[in-house]
């Protein structure tokens, strides 16, 4: 049985003045699927994630989550509806501990506020204790080594562990869809292999979780996604299994240049 589409985009176009960053892009992401987004620098990959998460409102076209239109919905409400992401550049709170970073990621799932902290302290304390417990379980699920470092400052972590922490923090909002922007950036081959193992374990534990991954490391792209979509100059060039997509001449030209692709 084919899984239902959970996230879709239709005719997505993004203009910045006279610059067209994305033109008429369509996509579908199914429940439990891993979709890789690849393409050269400036292809529109991060623009697509920014549209999905509400940082940009598309000039035309629409994004739907489980059939509900997301255009114009503020980013924090999109998180609440079930879409979380990481960024290409680190957005961690470096002066806070690993566990505190994950607890902060649960902000869309908590209800206590200033009034609770002052007048209903026991309620706020119970909610905080529950958030810490959930955060610890998330850290264990993403990386046991990261869990062992839960009281360490996030800014002291090596690059690979910072990337894992960003994933754990995104998962804290209990998303239906997780968007990863270059998760292996700055990693060597060994760290990338470990990251792939972590993502496989995560997907095995959460079979309904859907992932969209922007990535330049072709080893990861070849190993993880069920399907890849290729963007170039804001246009969709191809969509399908990596082994098929990589043989398409237009895709080779986008990565290698026309002459190199002809000689490949």
Q: What is residue 257's predicted lDDT score, i.e. its pLDDT? A: 60
Say which CATH number the domain at 240 has: 3.40.50.300
Confidence tier at 109 by pLDDT (50, 70, 90): low
Which of 106, 141, 174 delimits the end of a domain? 174
What's the whole-number mean pLDDT along residues 192-200? 92
Tokens of 244: 């098929």
Which of 128, 149, 174 delimits the end of a domain? 174
Residues 114 and 168 placed together within one structural domain of the fold: yes
Cβ–Cβ < 8 Å for 46, 234: no
Q: What is residue 115's predicted lDDT score, i.e. its pLDDT? A: 43
What's the whole-number mean pLDDT along residues 191-198? 92
Residues 22 and 36 placed together within one structural domain of the fold: yes
Range of the domain at 141: 94-174
Which of 120, 143, 174 delimits the end of a domain? 174
Q: Is the pLDDT of residue 94 over 90?
A: yes
């Amino acid at each position: 049985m084919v899984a239902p589409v959970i996230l879709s985009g239709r005719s997505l176009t993004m203009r910045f003045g006279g610059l067209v960053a994305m033109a008429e892009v369509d996509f579908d992401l199914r429940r439990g699927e891993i979709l890789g987004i690849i393409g050269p620098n400036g292809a529109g990959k991060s623009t697509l994630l920014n549209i999905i998460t509400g940082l940009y409102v598309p000039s035309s076209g629409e994004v739907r989550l489980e059939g509900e239109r997301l255009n114009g919905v503020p980013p924090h409400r999109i998180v609440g509806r079930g879409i979380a992401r990481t960024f290409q550049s680190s957005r961690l709170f470096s002066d806070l501990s690993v566990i505190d970073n994950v607890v902060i990621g649960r902000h869309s799932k908590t209800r206590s506020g200033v009034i609770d902290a002052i007048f209903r302290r026991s309620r706020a304390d119970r909610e905080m204790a529950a958030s810490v417990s959930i955060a610890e379980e998330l850290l264990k699920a993403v990386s046991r080594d990261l869990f062992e470092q839960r009281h360490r400052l996030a800014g002291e972590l090596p690059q690979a562990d910072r990337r894992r922490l960003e994933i754990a923090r995104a998962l804290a909002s209990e998303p239906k869809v997780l968007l990863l922007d270059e998760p292996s950036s700055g990693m060597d081959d060994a760290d990338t292999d470990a990251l792939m193992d972590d993502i496989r374990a995560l997907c095995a534990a959460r079979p309904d979780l859907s992932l969209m991954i922007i990535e330049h490391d072709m080893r990861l792209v070849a190993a993880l996604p069920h399907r890849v979509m290729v963007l170039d100059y804001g246009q969709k060039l191809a969509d399908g299994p990596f082994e098929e997509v990589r043989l398409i001449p237009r895709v080779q030209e986008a990565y290698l240049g026309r002459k190199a692709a002809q000689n490949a």
